[in-house]
Amino acid sequence: MATGKAAEGPLYPVKGVRSATVRAGIRYPDRRDLVLIELAADTRVAGVFTRNAFCAAPVIVAREHLESMQGIGRYFLMNAGNANAGTGDSGLADARYCCEAVAQQTGVRAAEVLPFSTGVIGERLPVEKLVKGVREAVPALSDDADAWWDAAAGIMTTDTRPKVFSRQVEIDGQTVTLTGLCKGSGMVRPDMATMLAYVFTDAGMELSDLQSILNSSVEHSFNRITVDGDTSTNDCCMLAATGKSGVHLTPRDEQQWRVFSKALHELTQTMAVSVIRDAEGASKFVTIEVFEGADAQECLDVAYTIAESPLVKTALTASDPNWGRILAAVGRAGLTHLDISRVQIHLDDVCIVENGALAADYTEEAGQEVMNREDITITIRLDRGQAHETVWTADLSEEYVRINASYRS
C-alpha cells in the first residue's frame, strides 16, 4: 500500500552525472539491484550518515573515502538486497573490494568510489556478483532521464514505487538543476537523513558550504520523518555538486544562496515526504504539527511521541477517533511543568481537546469524518513559547506486520 500519488512533474538530468542500473542477482533473480553513478571530475560530495553505533561497512568506508579525498568523489556504487551491516572486518573488506573493482574498471582511485548498501542485515555481501554487475554497468552509463528512473528503482527494497524528483532555478541568467532520488519504506527514524538519499546539482560550491547547506536541509526534511522509530544501520544522504552549470555559489552572495537553498529544501522535503507516503503498509499520511513550544526540542519530543505511539498509529489504521491516545502521548512526552489546561489538540480543523479535556463542541461524527481521510493533520498547541516543529509519519497496519515478519523469506 501507499498513499497519495507517485512522483509527478518533469525530471531533469544533471550535467556531469551518468548512471547505469543492472541485474546483479544480489538477493533476488531478475531484479535490477545494482546502481553505478558516475560524477564528473572535481565533483564535490558532502554527506551525512546514520548515528546508529552498528553502522554498516559501506557507511564506514564512504566516510573514510570522503575524508581522504577531501570531498572529491567520482562514483557511487549502490546495491539493494544486502545491507552489509553487522558483518565485522569481513564486511569492511568486501566494501573496499567492490570499490577497488569500480576503480579498476574506470581508472579512478578506489578512494574516489563511495559504496552504499541496503537490505538484509548480518549477511556477507556477494562480492563476485557485485563485481560482475560493475563490469556490466560501466559501458551502460547514461545521462538520459530513463537512467534516473532506473537508478531509483534499483535501490528499492520494500518500496512500492521509485522516488526521484527535480527542481530548476535561474541564477545569474543560468539554469541550475537539482535532481534527487531516494529509497525508504520501513526501518525509518532517521538520525541524520534517511535510508539512502542522493541529491545531485550542476551548481558548484566549496566543500564546507556544500556540507553546511546539506546539514541545514536534512535537519528540516529527512530528520523530521518516522515510520516505526527504528534508525537504520545504513542511513545516508549525499549531496554532489558537479559545477557543470557554470554557476558557483557562495553564502556571501545572499540572494543566489537563498534561491538555491530554498530549492534544495523543497526538494529534500519532497523526497522525505515521499518516503512516508510509501511507508510499509501505510494507509494514512499524517502530519503532526506542534506549536507554541518553549523550544524546538520539546516540540519534537511531543511530535515524535505521538508519531511513534503504536496505539495512536493503530487507531489511525482503523480510522478510529480515539483522541485519548493522542492526549496520553502528549502527556508522556517528558515536558517539564506542562500545564495541561493550556493544551489544545486538533484533528485537521476539528478541536478535540481544550483546557485539558474534551472540547465542549466536539462530536464523534466530526472526529470520524477527519479520521476517514487519507491525509490527516494532528495539531498540538502547548502555549509555552514560540517554537514550532513538524513531523511526518504513517499509520501502523497489519500489512506492515506482514511485510516485516516475512522480510527475509
The catalytic residues are 194
Q: Are 201 and 244 in contact (CB under 8 A)?
A: no
Would you give the distance in Å from CA 67 to the centre of its chain? 23
Q: For residue 198, give the C-alpha cell.
A: 542522493
Q: Are 5 and 16 in contact (CB under 8 A)?
A: no
Beta pairing, strands 357-358 & 285-293: unpaired
Closest alpha carbon to 275 in 214, 232, 338: 232
Q: Are 344 and 309 in contact (CB under 8 A)?
A: no
Closest alpha carbon to 37 in 7, 1, 13: 13
Q: What does DSSP assign to residue 35? A: E
* 376 strand-pairing partners: 286
The neighbour count for residue 57, using CB atoms within 10 Å, is 26
Dist. CA 193–CA 274, nearest whole Å: 14
Q: Three-state DSSP class for 170? A: strand
Q: For residue 312, give the C-alpha cell.
A: 495512536
Closest alpha carbon to 309 in 393, 402, 193: 393
Helical residues (DSSP H) of 203-278, grouped into ranges: 207-219, 254-277
Closest alpha carbon to 33 in 222, 164, 183, 231: 183
Dist. CA 99–CA 91, nearest whole Å: 13
Residues in contact with 254: Cβ distance below 8 Å, sequence separation at least 6, in sequence order:
none
Q: Are 68 and 61 in contact (CB under 8 A)?
A: no
Q: For residue 224, give the C-alpha cell.
A: 523530521
- Walk across the sheet containing 17-22 and list its strands: 17-22, 34-39, 75-82, 113-120
